[in-house]
Chain A
Amino acid sequence: MINLIMAAPDPIVLETDDRTPESALDSDEVRLTFEVHNLSIWYGDKRAIDSVTLNVPSNAVTSIIGPSGCGKSTFLRSLNRMHELVPGTRVDGSVLLLGENLYAPDVDPAIVRRRVGMVFQKSNPFPTMTIGENVTIGLKLNGVRDRKFLNERLEKSLRMAALWDEVKDDLHKAGTSLSGGQQQRLCIARALAVEPEVILMDEPCSALDPIATAKIEELIHELKKNYTIVIVTHNMQQAGRVSDYTAFFYLGRLIEFGPTSKIFSNPSDKQTEDYITGRFG
């Protein structure tokens, strides 16, 4: 079987070190997918992320919340170096993915983006491609030609994205013929097809109705059994429903990070409390 992705190393066990209080997790046994240390990101002269240290636990959903312009999308994109597509960006600090520094000089950003998949706010299936082609395009671009393998991966990805039953007879139809919610799940299937280790989601439900949103949220719940998920959302209730951990960003800084139940019932920081209760600014 063709495996495009290098075998994931053994999970890292967090040890007591010099973690800052806001990034520390309660248990020393929490496995980590990302270890972000003192990360700062500039767009030209503007510092979008300011000295963020944060550990992202494995096989869990971490949501990032904060007001517009607080740097949450930039932070999300820094986890697969997608922010580098904006000219004039500069990064300081380190991001370890399963122990490997994503910003080491010899790391190819394209490989990083294959290991860390992304789903965007607006569903973006390739308009000229069928449903099937949309899912398998990532594999084909990586040189996979084995039709049997492609078909297997197509079905597997669509099943994981909870879309197979709805489209199995229409795989030849255009991806854009699907509803908004289905298109978003198609994009998730496309991200899953290359078997990433992490899925990043940037407001994946903001353009969807409540039913489509519920389906995506159910899907997130299922996917976390096999993937680490980081999601940016403006919807506080959604963050409360889907995530195990929540990080609150403000003015590019990480203000508070902790279990979602703690953040939404008894946050430690007044700025977090003011934001989530709607008393901000």
Chain B
Amino acid sequence: MVTPKHILGNFDEALSSLRNNVLMMAGLAERTLDRAIRGLLQRDDNLCVTAIADDEEIDQLEKQIDKDGVDVLLRFQPVASDLRRVVAAMKLSPNVERIADQATNIARRARKLNKHAPLPEVDLIVPIQAHAMSMFKDSIDAFTREDVELGRAVVARDKDLDLMNKKAGRLLTDRMAEDPKQLRGYLNLIFISRCLERVGDHATNIAEDAVYAAAAEDIRHQTATVAT
């Protein structure tokens, strides 16, 4: 359905600028997370350093989105779907920023791991990263396309990620007991797995905001009944 133009051209521009900044921020966070994970898997310190450096730009975008959102509220007093879009943009940007923070944490721990001999257990991270990343991408898609069903599906997938993280945690703890010399390395992998689990939590929050923006429905804090 085509949304008719607002009677104030400035309003559509302001709303579009807000949305573009959210998308740009999400794109940067996705790239940072990708670089951090590749830095880990490919043992590439440069990628890790770049991922850490990217965080600054994302922080600035978060502030810009807040500023633009307040500006739109102040100047245009939007209502209905417009209000929900502005509120959702302002609510989801801190989640994107925290995803970038998790990427930075992963990059820092990857640099520590890169100083020592490679651990084959790093492969445990690959499926967790793939799941977390797909949740993140889909949550942003749900917001962009106002796709309520996709938003709901992202929320439902968080349970799987929690289980994957728990399973990896147990395995790595066992390895710590078996090989105490690599204790720090395994501990770093446990923390990286937890960072990715947190990425899933933030993606869930974003998906919930996307559903609210599209359908005015608050799906937070509901017992998951959707089959995964």
Contact = CB atoms under 8 A, between A and B. Distances in A.
A278 B81 contact: no
B7 A278 contact: yes
A64 interface: no
A279 interface: yes
Interface in A146-193: none
A277 B77 contact: no
Given A265-B84, A265-B216, A266-B216, A240 B79 contact: yes
B82 interface: yes
Contact of A276 (B4, B8, B80): B80
A236 B84 CA distance: 17
Contacts of A280: 4, 7
- The size bracket of the interface on B is 10 to 19
Interface centre among B4, B5, B76, B78 (most CB of A within 10 A): B4
A138 interface: no
B80 A273 contact: yes
Given A277-B6, A278-B6, A264 B80 contact: yes
B83 interface: yes
Interface string B63-78: 0000000000000111
A277 B8 contact: no
Contacts of A240: 79
Nearest to B77: A237
B3 interface: yes
B79 A274 contact: no
B191 interface: no
A278 B216 contact: no
Given A265-B84, A265-B216, A266-B216, A279 B79 contact: no
Nearest to A263: B80
Pick the 6 closest A-B CB pairs, nearest first. A266-B216, A279-B4, A264-B79, A278-B7, A277-B82, A278-B6
20 contacts: A236-B79, A237-B77, A264-B79, A264-B80, A264-B83, A265-B80, A265-B83, A265-B84, A265-B216, A274-B4, A276-B80, A277-B79, A277-B80, A277-B81, A278-B6, A278-B8, A278-B11, A278-B76, A280-B4, A281-B7
